[in-house]
Structure 1
Amino acid sequence: MAATDLLARRATLSRSLRLLSAFRFEQSDPDRFYGALAADTVAMVEDLWRSAVGSSIRGLTLLDVGGGPGYFASAFTAAGVRYIGVEPDPREMHAASPRTHDPAGTFLRASGTALPIADDSVDICLSSNVAEHVAQPWRLGDEMLRVTRPGGLAVLSYTVWLGPFGGHEMGLTHYLGGYRAAERYTRKHGHRPKNDYGSSLFAVSAADGLRWARGTGALVAAFPRYHPRWAWGLTGVPGVREFLVSNLVLVLQPS
């Protein structure tokens, strides 16, 4: 069975519309947005693992690189996963309301590009929407592969710069250029964007991610995270994918 077979059945237009609707609440109601994203991420990882390995994720150890304030911890712990979150920013670790921060998870303050984790020590290594926020995204990817045991899965999902969400809270102004968009945001709001181009936001392309993943020899699947199955072919179209894929998922299985 291909790694995406089960996920493909769930990748419907209604799912895409539901997630798109939730994105509107990222700033105004983060519990609503990140709660929906966490639930969908657990389902995605479960589908990928079942397709690739043939069993449930229950009882497995998952390392979440850039795990943030605990939304994913709550969702994965509820699914029976031993959850370890890595987050370099202490403000992010405490950003959620107490009811969403599950103390059952283990949390480490560390950089995703230098994980304090032994080689081949976790079943699944996940990074959701983090690669575009680090200056060396493929060093992060290499670290994810290093800590994932042979036969496990590394799932790296990131926002493509030229897609409609590449500018994050700066909106579509990122098409004017990252630095110009950040300056425009600052003039309008009186403060720098949280995702500030050149320091906490970088232009990461789909082509670069696919080139890195193929070079590892471990790539088993690549697809647009939020698209219905009939649009997954966009990943294979150079140029077009930079604008229409929006969020690229790279699934790797070390041997």
Structure 2
Amino acid sequence: MLKPSFKIITVLLLSTTILTACSQQEPNNDSTSQSTTNNQTAATSTSTSSTNSATETQKKAEEVQKFNIIGSWEATNQLSLNFNEDGSYTILRDGQAKAGTFRVAAEYDNTFLLKLTNYNPQTPGLDTYLYLTTNLDHTINVSNLGIFKSIGTSSKLPTALYLSNYLQEEPENAGDKLVGTWTNKNRENHVITTTNYNPDGSFERFSDASGIVTRGNFAVTSNETEVIITTTVPDHEPNQEKYTRNDAFTELTSTTPGFQTTYSKNILPTTR
């Protein structure tokens, strides 16, 4: 028969063993909680980082500023320019005014391509394409005219002023890169033909020799070095013109035997 003191010792040993086992099996809730907190913090950090990145992207896009161009503009060379909501424009230089209408042929990033009537007196009946870029200092840069600052307030371009097939992204294919005004000159540096390629696939060509504007449609195929333009006009067979081009796609040099000439495009002004 067990003595009382031995019974007490036995009970104490069993209790200690049970407590130890329970202690070993109990999960470390503090460690799990800390791990969960770390994961939540990391997820929050990632979310915050993504939000900040999106905000920065949006901010940069806004800084590009496709801001309003309807209004009055003034350059430092005594040249002023007005774009009006009804699609008319005026250019005033040294007291002499030039007026006509304009339409938007392209708008992407900070770039506009405008088609102006009555701009070049040397090509009556033919419109002229001019590039316009907006700058971060709230000025505009117009090809062949210079940099202008806003006078007063400006407003948004009405949708009615956009051509139906206007370009909404920076041109990547040859047909879109061709859109604009191209001129070629003779050896005396005199312009002999001026050609407009339009975003809807039509073209107009003014001949200085005849004073006539020819109108029709065009199609383009190209590779890394050669551009082939096929033009069609009413009552005539299609005409194929082959050119080599520069990397910027601003010069086309004819490869037709006996007719070596280079066409140059009204180029995009530099953004400041």
TM-score when scaled to structure 2? 0.25
**Greater helix percent: which structure?**
1
**Greater strand percent: which structure?**
2
More contact order relative to length (CA 8 Å, sep ≥ 6): 1
Q: Which has the larger radius of gyration?
A: 2
